[in-house]
């Protein structure tokens, strides 16, 4: 009897949550949502399946998700296996020609197809591609000291729009094409920001391994303006690895993205909590 009553309470709670999600679903109807999936958020098969279900649910609610993924831990593992030494400058990987070949193999191959298969396994229609396909991400060399690291200069949004209009979910590996046929390794956050800007996306969700942007006391700030982010960076409150993420957010907003959210991608159903609930998840940055 107690078990039956508990199940009934769970059912009522689920129905209530679905009902409360309706205005959020209506608000995002038809919206393009670019999601940067970091390598740490793909740490287990269970986490990957949960993420895939969330993406398919978003698609069923007439949102248009676009996935841009990283894969740093997987790249490191393969470089170690192949005994290819890795050097860093200020925490940034130096991408030699040999390194980029491994990066492309891992990101466009194993990582990309794992995500595609997970989404398709949940009933979605995912298609994997990289920034090199159809010149999706045209790049120039970002820093000669870092080797073949690319800085996006243009985005071919037409190829993504074509996929979205035909009901597909694009899954994009962050590689770029150079003007002379080079292959560039592009930071995942940077690639996601450029693609979101090219699509004039409604949202860019940066899934990371932190809760969001924190104040001096260590509390997560849920709503921030671009001016506040700049002030916090100048004051040293935003520092270290959070600086490139907030800079990506500011660049995306200046390119036409409506809002960017920095959030913990390891939290269950993080994307759904952000999009379909009042309290959201992580730190939202608006213009």
Length of the chain in terms of residues written:
287
Q: Which residues are CB-neighbours of 12 under 8 A, at least 6 positions away?
A: none
Q: 35: closest CA among 153, 138, 139, 115?
A: 115
Q: 110: closest CA among 195, 183, 39, 205?
A: 39
For the residues of 145-190, what is the DSSP string, one character each? GGBSBEEEEEE-HHHHHHHHHTT-EEEEE-EEEETTS-EEE--HHH
Cβ-contact 271, 35 below 8 angstroms: yes
Q: Is 228 exposed, middle or buried (0-12, 13-18, 19+ CB in 10 A)?
A: middle
Strands 175-178 and 183-185, bridge-based pairing: antiparallel
Q: Which of 54, 133, 189, 202 is catalytic?
A: 189
Note if 236 is an active site residue: no
Q: Is 158 exposed, middle or buried (0-12, 13-18, 19+ CB in 10 A)?
A: exposed
Note if 110 is an active site residue: no
Note if 36 is an active site residue: yes
- Dihedral of CA 11/24/207/262: which sign? negative
Q: Which of 38, 39, 131, 150 is catalytic?
A: 39
User: Residue 219 CA to chain centroid, in angstroms?
Assistant: 23
Q: Which of 72, 109, 121, 178 is catalytic?
A: 72
Q: Which of 64, 128, 150, 245 is catalytic?
A: 245
Cβ-contact 36, 70 below 8 angstroms: yes
Where are the alpha helices (H) located in the chain, listed in sequence order? Answer: 2-27, 45-60, 72-81, 97-104, 112-121, 157-165, 188-199, 226-234, 242-254, 270-276
DSSP summary character for residue 26: H
Give the residue numbers annotated as catalytic, written as ranges.
Answer: 36, 39, 72, 189, 245
């Amino acid at each position: 009897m107690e078990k039956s009553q508990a199940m009934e309470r769970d059912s009522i709670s689920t129905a209530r949550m679905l009902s409360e999600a309706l205005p959020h679903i209506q608000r995002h109807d038809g919206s393009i949502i670019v999601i940067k999936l970091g390598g740490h958020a793909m740490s287990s098969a269970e986490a990957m399946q949960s993420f895939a279900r969330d993406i398919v649910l978003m698609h069923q609610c007439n949102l248009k998700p676009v996935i841009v993924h990283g894969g740093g831990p997987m790249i490191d593992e393969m470089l170690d296996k192949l005994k290819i030494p890795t050097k860093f400058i200020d925490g940034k990987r130096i991408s030699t020609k040999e390194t980029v070949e491994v990066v492309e193999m891992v990101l466009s191959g194993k990582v990309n197809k794992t995500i595609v298969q997970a989404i398709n396994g949940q009933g979605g229609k995912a298609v994997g591609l990289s920034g090199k396909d159809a010149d999706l991400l045209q790049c120039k060399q970002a820093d000669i000291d870092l080797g073949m690291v690319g800085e996006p200069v243009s985005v071919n949004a037409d190829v993504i729009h074509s996929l979205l209009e035909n009901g597909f979910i694009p899954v994009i590996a962050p590689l770029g094409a150079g003007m002379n046929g080079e292959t560039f390794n592009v930071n995942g956050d940077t690639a996601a920001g450029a693609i979101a800007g090219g699509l004039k996306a409604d949202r860019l969700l940066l899934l990371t391994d932190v809760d969001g942007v924190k104040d001096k006391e260590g509390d997560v700030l849920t709503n921030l303006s671009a001016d506040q982010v700049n002030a916090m960076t100048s004051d040293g409150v935003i520092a270290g690895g959070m600086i490139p993420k907030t800079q990506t957010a500011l660049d995306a907003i200046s390119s036409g993205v409506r809002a960017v959210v920095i959030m913990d991608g390891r939290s269950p159903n993080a994307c759904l909590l952000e999009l379909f609930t009042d309290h959201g998840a992580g730190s939202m940055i608006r213009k």
